[in-house]
A and B are shown apart, each in its own frame.
Chain A
Amino acid sequence: MRSWSIALILIVISAGMLLSNVDVVSIFKGSHYVTDVSRSDNDVNCTACHKSVAKEMEITRTLGGPHSDLSCESCHRFNNSTVTQFAVANESGAFPGKEAHAAYVPRCLDCHGGNGVLITNRFGQTVYAPPARAFNQTPIPNYTAHKQLFEYCKQLGDENLACLACHSNYSVNLSFKYHYSLSYVLSNWNFTSFTPNGIRVYSVNVSKQSKFSGKHVFLPLNKINCSKCHENIYLGLINGIHAPIYWYLSWKKSNWTAYNLWDDRRYHGIGIYDSSTGDYIINTSWINNTYCAQCHYNLNVNSTAAYNGLVHCAEKVSCLTCHGTGKPYDPYDVIGTGNQSSNKIGHRQLLNELNEVNNNYPRMYHADVCMGCHKASIHATVSCGWCHNKGSVSVDVYSEPDGRVYVW
């Protein structure tokens, strides 16, 4: 009986297979099932092959990042001067693509160049993509931070890399090479010696996690942390060099009208007194993008590129940007007349000499010169009068993140 049952089951299965099977198995299943592309929208599902990109865009939407409202077509089928016509089939007929058929890899500046553009988002709304100043200019002005990164990537053939470094989850490893220290000698507020020494190499590893390449995770602006890539500067700030002049004094220069973050007119940060060392240390919680923007995206000083709407994230600055002659924080008379009449104009004179056309004291050393004295003022190993009376001192100042200063 059992063998009959098994035979019967086998017969039924075989019959079922015969009924369901086709005569000849196709070489490439589905190859004749061609998608209907005659509707007005894009009928080819990009995410069928690019699921990982779709997942990254979902992360962008979760973060509330830029481009959250965009579809694949918003960027990759964006008609502009680069691609004037993609392949389209709709009720009116079939129109072949010109510079591209299905999609193209856009330059970020296709939307964020010029004066910006209007694009259609995934809700069918027209939205404005603002320009990324001053990358929208040719040539890019020298005051634009990250100019060299952008131009190098452009030369490589993918300028988007420069944008993605900050604005996406694309990982970045950096190796900065710059001077190890600077030695200078002042005599009556004039340089008698000015010597950069050695080479410092500082490496930063900004590893980010991503589902795919990370290029489609667009970070909200408040998630872009300057200090991640510029860790040496961050540590330099903590170690008392780069910019923070935090020695607490109650006296303020009366004609410095603009206020900083801490409602203080004289200092870049108010130090916290450390009784164990007798030093003033900066509150590290203040060192964030807002802190960086105080100098590198300054909307209060009318000569800055930021004030004039010429940069979108940061500009290169010098101490002279705010402290130059005639600027809001002109140091004229900042230490009073002292015992020599030259002290009244001493700072101004020094800064002017620092930027004299024929002098080779480039911008990258300006802060070191200023910090050399101002950091030294905390632990002065020479008498106050050497600086305040004579404007004469010898200084060794070590670049970021070191922060050491020696004066004699």
Chain B
Amino acid sequence: MDYGKVLLITIITFALGVLVLPSTLSIFAGEHYWYNLSGTENDVPCVKCHADVYEELQLSAHKNLKCEDCHRANKSITYASVSGSYTNVTPGKEAHAASCVACMMCHQINASQESKVPGPYAGGFNITIFGVSSPYNYSNSTHTGLYEAHNALVAHAIAKANNSTLLLDSTEACLACHANVDIRMNFNVSTGMEIYTSHEILGYDTTTGFNESQIVIDDLRITDFKVITEVKGT
């Protein structure tokens, strides 16, 4: 390619650039195009930044929910808002635009901390048996959750969530089953047991009609642990 052609391409590119560029180069295009927040609902388009979340929601059982139904719905939080006009502004207190949300805020008993769309109660868990507390009500006298197989997962998710970067409360545990998330789990399982026995003499048993003796278990230990890795998702 000769220099003439290179020069021609450079000129064309420059010309196009001149056409599409504004008269003055903005440092940050659109930065003076302010959204009008005086509507009755949230006027900031969350989806602009969270398009991936929006796309997931369209495939989700929560597809009829709006962002603010969960993320601006905590009764204990005052979010920044404009009501009707800019003369009626409520500055955010605990949160400005949105708050992270725990599943149980909507799905606890009565969902009393959810201000917009309370979800059905996810009853049948018990975290107190693991000595864990939560701001949300997991159980009551009817919905004891004492036999739930995943109580440990839920309780430990809560315990780990405190003072960490994990999602709030038991949210990871909920998502593990109810969302299309990838999970890698290491199950440390026993594959056997050791039993130590001896005999004891009981005396005459009128039921069996014998001077009874029996094998007694002196000790029983769960043994032969091995780690099995399970992977959910891709």
Enumerate chain A interface residues (CB-CB to B < 8 A). Answer: 1, 4, 22-26, 28-38, 44, 48-52, 76, 82-83, 85-87, 89, 93-94, 96-105, 141-143, 147-149, 152-153, 156, 161, 165, 170-179, 207-208, 210, 212-214, 316, 318, 320, 355-357, 359-365
Are the C-beta atoms of B182 and A29 separated by less than 8 Å? yes
Q: Which residues of A contact B177 (CB under 8 A)?
A: 35, 44, 49, 102
Are the C-beta atoms of B210 and A363 separated by less than 8 Å? yes
Are the C-beta atoms of B189 and A177 separated by less than 8 Å? no
Say what secondary structure dominates the interface of chain A: loop
Are the C-beta atoms of A176 and B144 separated by less than 8 Å? no
Pairs across A and B, CB under 8 Å, 12 listed: A22-B52, A30-B175, A31-B56, A48-B233, A94-B121, A98-B145, A101-B123, A147-B214, A173-B195, A176-B197, A357-B204, A362-B213
| CB of A1, distance to nearest CB on chain B (Å) | 7
Given contacts A32-B62, A96-B120, 6 further A-B contacts (CB under 8 A): A26-B56, A31-B56, A83-B147, A94-B120, A96-B121, A170-B191
Among candidates B124, B181, B190, B196, residue contacting A100 with C-beta atoms closer than 8 Å: B124
Q: Mark B201-229, 1 if CB is under 8 A from A, else 0.
A: 11111011111111111101011100010
Are the C-beta atoms of B207 and A98 separated by less than 8 Å? no
Q: Which residues of B contact A104 (CB under 8 A)?
A: 147-149
B112 within 8 A of A: no
Q: Which residue of B lies closest to A199 (CB)?
A: B198
A61 to B210, CA, bound (A): 42
Q: Are A76 and B149 CB-contacts (below 8 A) given A173-B223, A363-B211?
A: yes
Among candidates A44, A98, A361, residue contacting B143 with C-beta atoms closer than 8 Å: A98
Q: Which residues of A contact B213 (CB under 8 A)?
A: 362-365
A171 to B193, CA, bound (A): 6
| CB of A232, distance to nearest CB on chain B (Å) | 11
Q: Are A86 and B124 CB-contacts (below 8 A) given A32-B56, A32-B62, A214-B191?
A: yes
Are the C-beta atoms of A25 and B190 separated by less than 8 Å? no
Are the C-beta atoms of B145 and A174 separated by less than 8 Å? no
B117 within 8 A of A: no
A1 to B180, CA, bound (A): 47
Are the C-beta atoms of B211 and A360 separated by less than 8 Å? yes
B125 within 8 A of A: yes
In the complex, which of the residues A89, A97, A141, A142 has the most CB atoms of chain B within 10 Å of its own CB atom? A97
| CB of A195, distance to nearest CB on chain B (Å) | 14
Q: Which residue of A lies closest to B138 (CB)?
A: A101
Are the C-beta atoms of A170 and B193 separated by less than 8 Å? yes
Number of interface residues of B (CB under 8 A): 77
A149 to B196, CA, bound (A): 10
Among candidates A24, A165, A213, residue contacting B190 with C-beta atoms closer than 8 Å: A213
B176 within 8 A of A: yes
A30 to B174, CA, bound (A): 12
B97 within 8 A of A: no
Segment of B10-18, B19-27, B43-51, B84-92 in the binding face: B43-51
A176 to B194, CA, bound (A): 11
Are the C-beta atoms of A87 and B123 separated by less than 8 Å? yes
In the complex, which of the residues B51, B122, B197, B233 has the most CB atoms of chain A within 10 Å of its own CB atom? B197
Are the C-beta atoms of B143 and A177 separated by less than 8 Å? no
Are the C-beta atoms of A34 and B178 separated by less than 8 Å? yes
A173 to B222, CA, bound (A): 10
Q: Which residue of B lies closest to A214 (CB)?
A: B191
B59 within 8 A of A: yes
In the complex, which of the residues A23, A101, A362 has the most CB atoms of chain B within 10 Å of its own CB atom? A101
Q: Are A105 and B147 CB-contacts (below 8 A) given A96-B121, A359-B211?
A: yes
**Which 9 A-B pairs give the minimum distances between C-beta atoms?**
A97-B124, A96-B123, A171-B192, A101-B124, A94-B120, A362-B213, A152-B217, A364-B213, A33-B180
Q: Which residue of B lies closest to A170 (CB)?
A: B192
Among candidates A28, A100, A103, A360, residue contacting B175 with C-beta atoms closer than 8 Å: A28
A104 to B211, CA, bound (A): 41
Q: Which residues of A contact B132 (CB under 8 A)?
A: none
Are the C-beta atoms of B228 and A212 separated by less than 8 Å? yes
A82 to B144, CA, bound (A): 11
Are the C-beta atoms of B50 and A26 separated by less than 8 Å? yes
Among candidates B181, B224, B228, residue contacting A171 with C-beta atoms closer than 8 Å: B224
Q: Which residues of B contact A103 (CB under 8 A)?
A: 148-150
Are the C-beta atoms of B197 and A177 separated by less than 8 Å? yes
Are the C-beta atoms of B178 and A35 separated by less than 8 Å? yes
In the complex, which of the residues A34, A35, A104, A177 has the most CB atoms of chain B within 10 Å of its own CB atom? A34
Among candidates B175, B180, B196, B210, residue contacting A318 with C-beta atoms closer than 8 Å: B210
Are the C-beta atoms of A179 and B182 separated by less than 8 Å? no
Among candidates A22, A31, A141, residue contacting B207 with C-beta atoms closer than 8 Å: A141
Are the C-beta atoms of B61 and A38 separated by less than 8 Å? yes
Q: Which residues of A contact B146 (CB under 8 A)?
A: 99-100
Q: Which residues of A contact B212 (CB under 8 A)?
A: 142, 362-363
Q: Which residues of A contact B120 (CB under 8 A)?
A: 89, 93-94, 96
Q: Mark B90-127, 1 if CB is under 8 A from A, else 0.
A: 00000000000000000000000000000011111100
Are the C-beta atoms of A149 and B217 separated by less than 8 Å? yes
Q: Are A97 and B52 CB-contacts (below 8 A) given A172-B192, A179-B199?
A: no
In the complex, which of the residues A22, A105, A320, A362 has the most CB atoms of chain B within 10 Å of its own CB atom? A362
